[in-house]
Every structure is written in structure tokens, then in C-alpha cells.
């Protein structure tokens, strides 16, 4: 067989394979680009929404939760900002298209200082008596725990609590440490700071998880009427992500089944973003001597902080390197 025949046979056999590989590579590259685009747009929208929550602070007070105790979070402006930010990034301009986009966001939640706020779809009757659907805010869900004796503890994202002592048939308010010193109160959990914090964290995580899972699943009841074919379900989320939210006023946002502009695949993402207002010793991050560095607030450096983080892991993940309080250079 001549060499030209070998070449013809080779191209006949392998050219389709090379073409298929090239097509697959181009598609994969396109999906990766879309993933990065969606992830950036969604995260930016959540951060923009959190910024609006931060503005709900009495300017006369030092940044912290004292302002939230006076001015509870107003979630609607945060949600409106979230939607507007997504619309800008997705280049969605008219109201109809924005409403179509919202159908792929089964739930938007705010963990407020003392409870969980949820924005979900609910049915109602329009002026003609027909079934219609709109997004509404549900009543705040308290962060409540009941022990075996029937005592009730309403937690917050700090140590401030509201407790009902069944033996005394009376409500008490204050910080755990203060109530633990009250000789009248008979609630055992208040006496153990470590167990109290474990129960508080687990209670808040359970309430958030259970309600998000319930309303994401309930969204499937309305999808046919909303002209959405995707099957919504709670995504698998690392426990660490959940526990990172229980000490902060936070936003939880989900988008599922959002169609790509190519092929039949869809996009799924979630974002947990905290306001980062209350940390007693937050981590500051910024440019120091032309380097990205982070340091604890207690170091009392005069460097300008461009970002605030709650953990060193978060700061490091954003490309910052630790600056020790003992070595400011």
C-alpha cells in the first residue's frame, strides 16, 4: 500500500474523532466561561444586597449589631438590589424578562438578628379570580429551641436571648452570661457556655436548612404555572458553609435551572454572604507595601482596609497573606 493510501485511511478513520474532540473542547470551554460569568454575576448580586443591609444602620452608633437591635433588617431593598444587580449583569432589561429570571430563584433568605426571613413564590387570586403567583415575604421565623422540660430559648446571632422558664412561667431577656447568674432562672443550658453555643449554632443551622429545603421543594408545585420545567431541590452544601453563617446577619440566595444561551444545559448556584458587622476582632485586608495582606483589627495598624473578613481562611482564599501584629512590615 502506498504512503498516500495510508494517509487517506488515517484521515478517514481519525478525522471524525479529531473533529468530535474539537467540538467537545469548544463546548467545555464555553460552559466554563458561562459558569465563571454566572458565578461572578450571582456573587456580585448577593454582595450588593448585603451592602444594602449594611446601610440599615443608625449612623450615630458604632458599626455593630446594636443598630440592628434598634433597626431590624429591611429585606425588600436588599432583594430589589439583588434582582437589579442580576438584571444588569445578565443584560435583562424589561420587566417581563426580569420576572422570567426570578422564576429560577426559588428562595431568597435573610438571617436577621433574631430570625429567618424568606422571600418565596405564593399563589393568590387575581382580579378575575384566576390563580396567579407572586413573590412575598413570609413572617419572620424565630430561632427557637425547647429543652426536655419545655423551657424555650429564642436565640439570636449573638448571645442575646429571650427565654421562657416553665417552672416560673415567666419570660426573661438578656445575654446568656447575665441570665445564668440570675438565681431564679432554672434553665440548665444557660449555665454551660460551651453547650449553649453548640445548641445555638445547631438550632440556627437546622432552622435555616429545614426551611430552605422545604420552600425550594415547594417551588416545584408552582413551576408548571410559572412555565419552568426544572426540578428544584436543595443543593449539597458543606456543613462548614452553614456554620459560618450563624454568627452573622446573612443572605442566602439560590438560582437553579437557569438556561444557558447554548445547548440544553442549565446553571445552578448558591451564595451565602454575611454582613460582617459584629465581629469583635474582624480581619482587615488591603494593600500594604504593594502586597495583598490581612491583619486583625486589634493590631491597630494605620493601613487602609479594603475588605473585612471573619476568618483567616476567607482572607487567604481571596489572595491575602497574613500580617502579624508583632511584625507590621
Same domain, 293 and 202: no
Beta strand spans in the chain (E): 108-112, 115-125, 131-137, 141-142, 144-146, 152-154, 160-165, 170-175, 250-259, 266-274, 283-288, 291-296, 307-309, 321-322
Same domain, 157 and 296: no
Looking at the domain assignment, is residue 3 inside a domain?
no
Same domain, 208 and 321: no
Please report the DSSP string for 186-215 in residue order: --GGGG-HHHHHHHHHHHHHHHHHHHHHHH
d(C-alpha 284, C-alpha 304), whole Å: 9
Whose cell is 482572607? That residue is: 315
Closest CA to 200 of 253, 158, 260, 263: 158
Same domain, 22 and 163: yes
Residues 173/155, Cβ–Cβ less than 8 Å:
no
At 59 the pLDDT is 42
Whose cell is 425550594? That residue is: 216
Same domain, 261 and 245: yes
For residue 213, what are the CA distances in angstroms to 119, 124, 234?
13, 22, 5
d(C-alpha 57, C-alpha 80), whole Å: 18
At 24 the pLDDT is 46
Question: pLDDT exceeding 70 applies to what percent of the chain?
Answer: 76
> From first to last of its 329 residues, what are the pLDDT tens digits of the chain?
556 655 555 556 555 654 555 544 445 455 555 667 777 788 888 888 888 877 664 443 444 445 445 455 678 999 999 999 999 988 888 888 899 889 989 999 999 889 999 999 999 888 888 888 899 999 999 999 999 999 999 999 888 899 999 999 999 999 898 999 988 999 999 999 889 989 999 999 999 999 999 999 999 998 888 888 888 888 888 887 788 778 778 888 888 887 755 555 666 666 676 655 555 567 888 899 999 999 887 787 888 888 777 677 778 878 899 988 777 66
Closest CA to 249 of 279, 284, 210: 279
Looking at the domain assignment, is residue 1 inside a domain?
no
Same domain, 164 and 187: yes
Helix, strand, coil in percent for the chain, rounding step 5? 40, 25, 35
Same domain, 263 and 287: no
* Domain range for 321: 279-329
Looking at the domain assignment, is residue 313 inside a domain?
yes
Q: How many domains does the chain have?
A: 2
d(C-alpha 126, C-alpha 152), whole Å: 41
d(C-alpha 142, C-alpha 256), whole Å: 27
Same domain, 213 and 88: yes
Amino acid at each position: 500500500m502506498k504512503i498516500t493510501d495510508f494517509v487517506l485511511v488515517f484521515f478517514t478513520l481519525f478525522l471524525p474523532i479529531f473533529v468530535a474532540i474539537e467540538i467537545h473542547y469548544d463546548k467545555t470551554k464555553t460552559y466554563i466561561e458561562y459558569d465563571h460569568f454566572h458565578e461572578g454575576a450571582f456573587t456580585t448580586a448577593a454582595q450588593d444586597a448585603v451592602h444594602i443591609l449594611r446601610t440599615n444602620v443608625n449612623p450615630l452608633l458604632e458599626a455593630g449589631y446594636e443598630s440592628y437591635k434598634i433597626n431590624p433588617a429591611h429585606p425588600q431593598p436588599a432583594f430589589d438590589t439583588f434582582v437589579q444587580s442580576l438584571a444588569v449583569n445578565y443584560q435583562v432589561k424589561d420587566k417581563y424578562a426580569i420576572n422570567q429570571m426570578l422564576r429560577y430563584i426559588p428562595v431568597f433568605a435573610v438571617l436577621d438578628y433574631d430570625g429567618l426571613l424568606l422571600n418565596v413564590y405564593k399563589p393568590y387570586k387575581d382580579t378575575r379570580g384566576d390563580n396567579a403567583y407572586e413573590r412575598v415575604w413570609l413572617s419572620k421565623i424565630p430561632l427557637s429551641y425547647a429543652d426536655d422540660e419545655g423551657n424555650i430559648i429564642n436565640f439570636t446571632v449573638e448571645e442575646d436571648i429571650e427565654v421562657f422558664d416553665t417552672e416560673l412561667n415567666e419570660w426573661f431577656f438578656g445575654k446568656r452570661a447575665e441570665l445564668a447568674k440570675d438565681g431564679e432562672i432554672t434553665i440548665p443550658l444557660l449555665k454551660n457556655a460551651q453547650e449553649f453555643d453548640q445548641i445555638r449554632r445547631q438550632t440556627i443551622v437546622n432552622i435555616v436548612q429545614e426551611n430552605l429545603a422545604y420552600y425550594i421543594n415547594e417551588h416545584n408545585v408552582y413551576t408548571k404555572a410559572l412555565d419552568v420545567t426544572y426540578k428544584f431541590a436543595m443543593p449539597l452544601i458543606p456543613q462548614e458553609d452553614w456554620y459560618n453563617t450563624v454568627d452573622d446577619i446573612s443572605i442566602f440566595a439560590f438560582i437553579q435551572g437557569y438556561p444557558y444561551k447554548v445547548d440544553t444545559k442549565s446553571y445552578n448556584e448558591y451564595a451565602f454572604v454575611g454582613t460582617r458587622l459584629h465581629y469583635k476582632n474582624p480581619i482587615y485586608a488591603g494593600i500594604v507595601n504593594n502586597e495583598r495582606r490581612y491583619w486583625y483589627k486589634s493590631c491597630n495598624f494605620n493601613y487602609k482596609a479594603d475588605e473585612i473578613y471573619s476568618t483567616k481562611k476567607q482572607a487567604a482564599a481571596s489572595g491575602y497573606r497574613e500580617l502579624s501584629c508583632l511584625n507590621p512590615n
